[in-house]
Structure 1
Amino acid sequence: MKKLIIILMITSQSLSLLSCASLENNPKATKGSIIGGITGIITGLVTKQKTENTIAMGVAGVLAGGAVGLMMDKQEKKLREALENSEAASVEREGNLITVLLKGDFMFDTNSFTVKSGLYSEIDRIAKIIVEYPKTSIIVEGHTDSQGSESYNMSLSEKRAIAVQNIFIQKNVSHSRISITAFGESQPRATNSTPEGRQLNRRVEVKIAPNEDEV
């Protein structure tokens, strides 16, 4: 019983710290992990599995989930600050998935997969932050508009994703952490019937997620 009280006291204090640090930046991610852990505790109690192990497992889930959310909060904040004045890149967040959107027209010439030299500094800033957080995995996704054949667009999107991946590796992002996916024209963000829409669809997306063993 004494152990149970101690566990609950530690949990209460830890939740307070995690809430102060994270909820303001990303309420959904951190609240979700906390609610999940608490649900585990309550379920154990309701089913009369009132054991210290049940409580401890729920507490571990709360703390681990909160720590992951806090890590992603910090990384998101640094990325937003680093790219605040960038015309070529922007940051999005959904749950614990961070997406850095690299606009294709800023990154590449038409029909080219060579990254413009002036954009290396953008990728360098992103890479430095990624290196700071080794417990994340990176997927570089290539996308095009619908101009040209599907096979050509698929090939172009793959080459552009590889080009960005190679720069990350040159900037000390471990090869084992990073992979590429080519989507061609299959995942547009906007209509392909207008120049403005096609411009939005020509892009590379850098997805940053916590490693599976951290979740």
Structure 2
Amino acid sequence: MRNTAAKHMAALTMLIAILSQILMGCNATNTTKGGAIGAGVGGAIGGAIGHRSDNTVVGAIIGATVGGAAGAIIGRQMDKQAEELKRDLEGAHVERVGEGILITFESGLVFDTESYSLRENTKTNLTDLSETLKKYDDTNILIEGHTDNKGEDAYNQKLSENRADAVENFLVGQGIKDTRITTKGYGEGQPLDSNESEAGRQKNRRVEVAIYANKEMKRLAKKGELGESE
């Protein structure tokens, strides 16, 4: 009986500790969150951020996490980038996630209906994005295209791929190395909201961009040699 009670007490203590980390994470800076993920509370913090666990672009950011002191250094760099992008990218949603940045472009603001040709205002946005990516060139970039469930699956899949590729091609044309970029189309397979309403379908038609540390940035952060970009 004593052993059972002791086990229950240990489990309760651990649960309280995890909950405390979650509550602290809700009030912590993004830099602190980046360091904490590597310390074993990534799942809790990821949940506090509020993203779906099957969102692959978020998964790429969390998968690239270093954690600890190095993660905190990377987090500070990402804080600076995110602030610049929030200022420059009109109509895009910029969010710090873990040790990276998630940018969501609503497809209706980027492309005409059933098209993957970039609108002129979108080119201006992507030009601004490319300038920040050049300034912080020690990052990888993942571009994902998504659609709603209107139309045939195969058509939506191809459209999502073409839209992700269109964004990549423009960034490469602005001088971003293609070796930094990965693209993926998911068609209607990863909705953010219900496709039963137009508002939900609008959220699901999107292009998402993940920015996260590459191997060199991680190496320098671990050695404490990651320079502060001006």
Whole-angstrom CA distance in 2 between matches of 1:198 and 1:32: 32
Instruction: Show the counterpart of 1:128.
Output: 131
Please name the residue that 2:78 is paired with. Answer: 72
- For residues 152-186 of structure 1, the C-alpha deviation after alignment (integer angstroms, 9 at most, x for no partner) is 10000000000010111111111110110110000
1:151: Cα distance to partner?
A: 0.7
CA shift digits 1:176-198 (9 cap, x unpaired): 10110110000001110111111
Q: Identify the match of residue 97 of structure 1 among 94, 97, 100.
A: 100
Q: Aligned with 1:208: secondary structure?
A: strand
Is residue 2:84 matched to residue 1:82? Answer: no
Structure 1: where are the runs of 5+ without partners? 1-22, 37-60
Question: Is the partner of 1:159 in helix, strand or coil?
Answer: helix
CA distance in 2, matches of 1:191, 1:62: 37
Report the counterpart of residue 142 of structure 1 in structure 2: 145
Moved over 3 A (4+): 23-26, 30-33, 212-215
User: 2: CA distance between counterparts of 1:26 and 1:64?
Assistant: 10
Instruction: Say if 2:145 and 2:187, in contact at 8 Å, map to a contact too.
Output: yes
What does 1:46-65 correspond to in 2, within 5 Å? 62-65=68-71
**Pairwise CA distance, 1:214:** 3.4
1:26 to 31, 46, 53: 31
Instruction: Name the amino acid aligned to 2:177.
Output: S
Q: CA deviation at 1:120?
A: 0.9
SS across alignment from 2:189: coil
In 1: Cα distance, 2:82 partner to 2:121 partner? 24
Counterparts of 2:194 and 2:31 in 1: how far apart (Å)? 30
1:175 partnered with 2:145: no
- TM-score normalized by structure 2? 0.67
Percent identity of paired positions between Structure 1 and Structure 2:
36
Counterpart of 2:188 in structure 1 is 185
Q: How many residues in Structure 1 have an aligned counterpart in Structure 2?
A: 165
Structure 1 residues 214 and 197: alpha-carbon distance in aligned structure 2, compared to 1, 3 A threshold:
same
Contact 2:35 2:69 in 1 (8 A): no
RMSD of equivalent CA atoms? 1.8
* DSSP-derived class of the 2:176 partner: coil
Following superposition, the deviation at residue 103 of structure 1 comes to 0.8
Contact 1:190 1:201 survives alignment (8 Å): yes
Question: 1:91 & 1:62 partners in 2: Cα distance?
Answer: 24
The answer (yes or no) to whether the contact 1:100–1:205 under 8 Å persists in 2 is yes
